[in-house]
């Protein structure tokens, strides 16, 4: 059971799923994707907070839409909702502390790029987009 009513988070989920992200609901789904040792996976830890709405989700959508190189797979988990799925994703993000929102890029099973909340909330949208595009260029 999540912290928020589903009707409240449904449009927030759709903000990323409509851009090609797959919403993962269980720890098993997260494990299946992130245990793969091949390809690139972009993970967005979504949130109801203002910096997710004004910076993280727009930056993710802009970076993906405008980049020549993109991750092979894009997934999202929702902080405060599917707690087991989020906890499993965060295990793969260690040694970084839990952060919502946050964005992680994995290549061949290794965490290669991490954007924590503090990189998002006090930053300009275009700088976050540039950060993501640079990671895509380097690793995808």
Give catalytic residues, as residue numbers: 49, 51
User: Please, are residues 85 and 24 in contact by the beta-carbon 8 Å criterion?
Assistant: yes
**Inter-residue contact 34 to 89 (CB < 8 Å):** yes
Q: Indicate the SS3 state at residue 16.
A: helix
Give the residue among 129, 21, 34, 114 at the shortest CA–CA distance from 76: 21
């Amino acid at each position: 059971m999540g912290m928020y009513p589903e009707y409240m988070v449904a449009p927030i989920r759709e903000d990323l799923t409509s851009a090609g992200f797959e919403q993962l609901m269980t720890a098993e789904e997260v494990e299946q994707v992130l245990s793969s040792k091949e390809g690139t996976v972009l993970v967005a830890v979504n949130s109801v907070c203002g910096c997710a709405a004004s910076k993280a989700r727009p930056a993710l959508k802009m970076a993906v839409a405008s980049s020549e190189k993109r991750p092979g797979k894009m997934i999202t988990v929702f902080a405060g909702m599917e707690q087991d799925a989020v906890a499993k994703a965060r295990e793969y993000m260690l040694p970084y502390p839990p952060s919502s929102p946050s964005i992680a890029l994995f290549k061949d099973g290794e965490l290669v790029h991490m954007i924590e909340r503090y990189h998002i909330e006090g930053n300009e949208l275009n700088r976050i987009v540039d950060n993501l595009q640079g990671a895509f260029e380097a690793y995808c």
